[in-house]
Structure 1
Amino acid sequence: MQRSLPSRLWLVRGMALLLVLSLLAPAAGAALGVGGGDDAGPSQLGPGTVEQPADNATVVGIQGYHFQGQGNRKKPARVVSADGNATTNWAYEDALGSRWFYDVDPLPNGNLLVVSTNPGGTTVFELDRESRERVWEETLPYHDTHDIDVYNDTHLAIANMRQWNDSCDCSNDRAVLYDREDGEVDWEWTFRNHYPNSTDGGFAEDWTHVNDVEVIRNGTELLLSPRNFDQVIAVNIESKEITERLGEDGDHSTLYEQHNPDWLTTEEGDPTILVADSENDRVIEYTKNEQGEWEHVWSAGSSASLSWPRDADRLPNGNTMIVDSMNHRVIEITPQGEIVWEYFATWSPYDAERIGTGDESNGPTMRDQGVSGHKAVYGSAGGLSATFSSWLAGSAQGTVVEGPVIEFAGLWGRLAPWFQPVWLDSWEFAGVIGALLLLAGWGLSEAVRERERIADGLRSLRERAV
């Protein structure tokens, strides 16, 4: 007697089960190595592509992963130093409490100015690069400060975000000059006094997210980055007037929630701003033209190569160093976009500086180098940068679905690493999410198909309960 073939329904169920198991198999294999030792997993620091060894060390401020004030040992916040071949020299972690590290600036004496935060406020300190000991420190009652710069021998310039005022239900986000000798603020510039209160939808606890301050024009002005306003501004310290403005609220084609703008000038003295255009997954350079308007001169990267970049510095050799935050790396690219130096720095690096090149950007503008246009970033050694989101964005380029797919890839690339277990790479984690979505859809379809039987069962249970 010939056996009957399985029904079409069971064939579909079998195929669905096989697909779920295939998606979960890489993650299951990776999970078996979770207990393989403290050095296992992508919390390691190390080199990628090194076509042009750097002539000095590179220091990186790594934000790390925290949730509700608790740090993750496998995703630590730290300050690290890499040598010219992108080999880790040292890593500094704060043993005193859970902290995020943000801005790291080289000082003239060879030490570092480090900005860190904790649930109690912001701590800024001078770190001896040789001994890794603090020379001095200041603890300020400011929540989640990302950037503090030296203004002069006695004062610090501070970008003070999330400064909510309960008495007026309004934002006191501001930039301040803080006197370290007196422990007092003796100059401040408050955003709500210079912007419509309806900007970015109105006051909120994180209204401006002003994430950067830089002293420019021989100490007469401050360059500020109100991230949520999609713009960079220069403020005159004496008059308190806005003297320069690049971008505007909601104009995402110019800037979209940017980080760490740097002020440069061309050989002819034209103002230039190099900035990490974070939500657009690119770094971009604007220079003022003869009409006094900001002109896009050069840019590099896309969601296929960068994921939420948060720093870009022009080096004296004309290359650009980029902190590619959600690809967990620092890269140096040529004006044409080729990666010539790459250092993997998990988790979520925020700021990087090349020792010996000064603070921020100290190299030629792209206009002075005769380079213009948008460049693709290429030449990575792979590693954590060969991500699911980068592949997805790259695959969609030039197709009819390019826009929405790249937008989704960018969102995935920025959010997934915060939830991704350290023993999974981005592809394995994407497989787990895909399997869960497939199981959810499968369960829903089975529930719809069997809805009458389920309803009968529920009625029977109710009758028994009565």
Structure 2
Amino acid sequence: MQTPSRRQLLAVGAILLCCLPLLASPLTAQSGGQGSTQNPCAGTMVNPANGTTVIAVQGYSWLENGGKEPAKLVGVGPKGEVKWVHHTAEHGMIWGYDVDPMENGNLFVTGTANGKTVVYEFNPRTQEHVWEESLPIHDTHDIDLINNGTQLLVANMRASNPETGKADDSIFVYDLEKDEIVWRWYFRSEYPKSVGGNYSKDWTHVNDVDKIGDGRYLASPRNFDQAIVVNRSTNDVEMQLGSDDEHDILDMQHNPDYLESEDGNPTFLVADSENERIVEYEKQGDDWKLTWELGKKDDLRWPRDADRLSNGNTLIGDSKNQRVLEVTPTGDVVWEFYAPWLVYDVARIPNERAESPTIADQNATGSYGINGDAAKYDAETMKRCHSYLQSIDGWADGQQPETESGSSDSGIQDDDERNNGSLGGPKNDESISGGMSLPGFDFVVGVVGLLLAVAFFVRRR
């Protein structure tokens, strides 16, 4: 066999050096890039997210005649890397619903288990429950912790009373210290039983409630096709967007958020589920004006959450496409992640809704389609993604922050309860590939180095 010449060895080394990006790119495990062999859940990644994205997976699949699947919370890093998975089903929660960031960096979680509703505070850093509470109400989708953590604000649906023949669907406040309901507002006090759904079964399907001011609660009676604000002091509905069966405005909506324009105009950002779009309405005088519509035909499938981020983009839970999107005001996808089965709620920590501009304030009013996303739905990809997420329990390999020294390389202080919600994510100005070690890269460099050393040795001979 002929011994390679020095020139041939140098040529091979040069070719390998030129091809390093191509050799390394298929091996970016959990890097968030498309084509990752170990993380099949990452979609489009144009920019890193400005924090950790938490996804509440309800737990139901339509594949192969459907069926119950485990509910979970998934923590996703800025570049699409899976940081941790919290299997709520292992803690007795059968269906997963709302998740809210707390000021201390923890998460407040709502779900149902065996005919009751469960809420708890979850610490993602320790992967432990801080405390929990069970309420004897059925299938509640949203409970918020209010008034400095002393009370629960509850959206109580499917509360038909067979003894009285009345629907007891309501919004109520439960005091944790007093262990009692201290205020309650029944939908039947304002609405006749002819509106909405089945009065004796699932009348309002009120799926969300938020405190938007002192004694002012924004609620979403889904079956009424409207978002309303109830005043606790007067028990009046002081704002109402939409009306029963006026589907051009809202149709079976989920999770409305309250924003306020620079002019002080109340603004609702709503996942308009059955219309398969995200909408924003601004109240101008006595009238509501549609200022933003996102989603053309087949862009979204039954979206159920939309949060405006502080950078002006919108974070969307696209339920039946089993994914989460971050989208610019003009519809460009900059971040995408898949999470089977049936995304319900999504949040970005630290709480990115604290300072959120309206579309009107961004001079981006109009109707837009979604551009730049990956394939919206593929059964085989979803199966691989589901298996991958199920294989992680707690922190993913290599993702847990260091604790022995009191701080980690990511800047997380162990004694900092707020933790800034970063969970080890990169700074906002990093590119998608910046600051990440590419698996396989060191190996290739080593090979090239060896070849060059051999070439040098041959030349010396």
Q: State the TM-score, normalized to the length of structure 2.
A: 0.71
Contact 2:115 2:139 (8 Å CA) reproduced = no
1:123-181 CA distance string (max 9 Å, x none)? 00000111111100000011111111122121110100001111121210000101011
Partner of 1:372: 365
Match of 2:50 in 1: 55
Q: 1:348 aligns with which of 322, 342, 345?
A: 342
Counterpart Cα distance in 2 of 1:310 and 1:361: 20
- 8 A Cα contact 1:106 1:113, kept in partner: yes
Counterpart in 2 of 1:162? 158
Secondary structure of 1:256's partner? coil
Read off the aligned partner of 2:201 and give its amino acid letter: E
Structure 2 counterpart of 1:185, from 181, 191, 214: 181
Q: Confirm whether residue 64 of structure 1 aligns to residue 95 of structure 2.
A: no
**How many Å apart are 1:44 and its aligned residue?**
7.2
Q: Give the Å deviation of 1:51.
A: 0.4
**Distance in 2, Cα, partners of 1:386 & 1:147:** 27
Tell whether the 8 Å contact from 2:209 to 2:220 is kept in structure 1 after alignment.
yes
Distance 1:45 1:269, change over 3 A: farther
Higher relative contact order (CA 8 A, sep 6+): 2
The residue type paired with residue 254 of structure 2 is: H
CA contact (8 A) 1:45 1:88 kept: no
Residues 250-305 of structure 1 deviation map (CA, whole Å, 9 limit, x = unaligned): 0000000000000000001000000000000000000012x320000001013411
- The 5 Å alignment of 1:199-214 reads 199-200=195-196, 203-214=199-210
Separation in structure 2 between the aligned mates of residue 89 and residue 424 of structure 1, nearest angstrom: 17
What CA distance in whole angstroms lies between the structure 2 residues aligned with 1:361 and 1:254? 27
In structure 1, how many angstroms separate the alpha carbons of the residues matched to 2:260 and 2:316?
20
Q: Which has the higher helix share?
A: 1
The answer to whether residue 254 in structure 2 is matched with residue 259 in structure 1 is yes
Query: Identity of counterpart residues, as a percentage?
Result: 45
Cα RMSD for the two superposed structures:
2.4
Contact 1:316 / 1:357 at 8 angstroms: preserved in 2?
no
Cα distance in 2 for partners of 1:190, 1:177 equals 12
Offset from partner CA, 1:297-332 (integer Å, 9 cap, x none): 001013411000000000011000100000000000
Q: Secondary structure at the match of 2:42?
A: strand
Q: Residues 62 and 349 of structure 1 are in contact (CA less than 8 Å); yes or no, is this contact kept in structure 2?
A: yes
Residue 72 to residue 251, structure 1, CA distance change in 2 (3 Å): closer
Is the Cα–Cα contact under 8 Å of residues 93 and 111 in structure 2 kept in the other structure?
no
| 1:361 shift after superposition | 6.5
Q: Is 2:294–2:370's contact at 8 Å kept on the other side of the alignment?
A: yes
Does residue 308 of structure 2 align to residue 314 of structure 1?
yes
**Aligned pair in 2 of structure 1 residues 66, 337: CA closer, same or farther (>3 Å)?**
closer
Three-state SS of the structure 1 residue aligned to 2:316 is strand
Which residue pairs with 2:293 in the alignment?
299
CA contact (8 A) 2:333 2:373 kept: yes
Go from structure 1 to structure 2 and tell me whether the alpha carbon gap of 1:292 and 1:332 turns closer, same or farther (over 3 Å shift). same
Alignment of 1:234-273 (within 5 A): 234-273=229-268
Find the partner of 2:318 among 296, 306, 324. 324
Residues 1:423 and 1:365: Cα distance change in structure 2 (over 3 Å): closer
* Paired residue secondary structure (1:264): strand
* Alignment correspondent of 1:143: 138
Classify 1:173/1:92 alpha carbon distance in 2 versus 1 (closer, same or farther; 3 Å): same
d(CA) in 2 for partners of 1:115 and 1:83? 22
Q: CA deviation at 1:72?
A: 6.0
Secondary structure at the aligned position of 2:361 is classed as helix
Counterpart for residue 171 of structure 2: 175
Q: 1:79 to 1:201 in 2, by over 3 A?
A: closer
Q: What amino acid is aligned across from residue 299 of structure 1 in structure 2? A: E
Contact 1:102/1:351 (8 A) holds in 2 = yes
* Shift of residue 55, structure 1, vs aligned partner: 2.1
- Unpaired segments ≥5 residues, structure 1: 1-42, 388-416, 426-466
Name 1:112's counterpart in structure 2. 107
Q: Cα distance 1:274–1:216, how it changes in 2: closer, same or farther (>3 A)?
A: same
Whole-angstrom distance in 1 between the partners of 2:61 and 2:112:
11
Q: TM-score, normalised by structure 1?
A: 0.70
Verify the 8 A CA contact 2:155 2:209 in the aligned structure 1: yes
- CA distance change for structure 1 residues 361 and 144 in 2, over 3 Å: closer, same or farther? farther
SS at match of 1:208: coil
Superposed displacement of residue 357, structure 1 = 2.9
Aligned with 1:80: secondary structure?
strand
What residue number does 2:282 align with? 287
Whether 2:328 is the aligned partner of 1:337: answer no
Which 4+ stretches in 1 moved above 3 angstroms? 420-425
Contact 1:257 1:277 in 2 (8 A): yes
CA 1:286/1:422 → structure 2, altered by over 3 Å: closer, same or farther?
Answer: closer
What's the CA shift for 1:65?
1.7
Structure 2 CA distance for partners of 1:63 and 1:110, relative to 1, 3 Å: same
Q: Take 1:150 and 1:97, find their aligned partners in 2: how far apart are those partners?
A: 21
- Deviation per CA, 1:417-461, whole angstroms, max 9, x where unpaired? 9xx997599xxxxxxxxxxxxxxxxxxxxxxxxxxxxxxxxxxxx
Is 1:103 the counterpart of 2:98? The answer is yes
Equivalenced residues, count? 344
**Residues in 1 aligned to 2:155 and 2:259: alpha-carbon distance in whole angstroms:** 20
Whether contact under 8 Å (2:40, 2:381) holds in the other structure is no
